[in-house]
Amino acid sequence: MSTTSFDEISENLSFLDDWEDRYRYLIELGGTLEPIDEEERSAANKVSGCVSQVWLVTESLLHENEKLLRFRGDSDAMIVKGLVAVLIALFSGKSAEQIAEIKAIEILDELGLREHLTSQRANGLVAMVERIQHEARHA
């Protein structure tokens, strides 16, 4: 299970100038994701708008009388799986209100993530962010 914080991911990406190294790092991050069960690879958990298959599972948990959301996910594409790990680190463990306030696309653009993705993968990244924020709004 991934325990890498978003700040750690951001810092590590800032040290990697070469995009081949950044891609390798994303692939490594994807490998740290907690596996999802086969029955969680359902149509309800599948993210539409992604060329690759992506599944996001949303769970609510209570922490000190505050409802927080936890996300788990997977993809059939290694780089996309790494992007899922980045988004989980960014959003997981926060309240719906906190998630709604996160300007995720701006943050990801500051990291330069979308500029080096194919347009299809960049669109898929936006679809994943929209899905997470939709889940938060309806939590």
Catalytic residue ranges? 50
Structure tokens at 32: 């740290």
User: For the residues of the chain, what is the DSSP string, one character each?
Assistant: -----HHHHHHHHHH--SHHHHHHHHHHHHHTSPPPPGGGSSTTTBPTT-SS-EEEEEEEEEETTEEEEEEEEEESSHHHHHHHHHHHHHHTTB-HHHHHH--HHHHHHHTTTGGGS-HHHHHHHHHHHHHHHHHHHT-
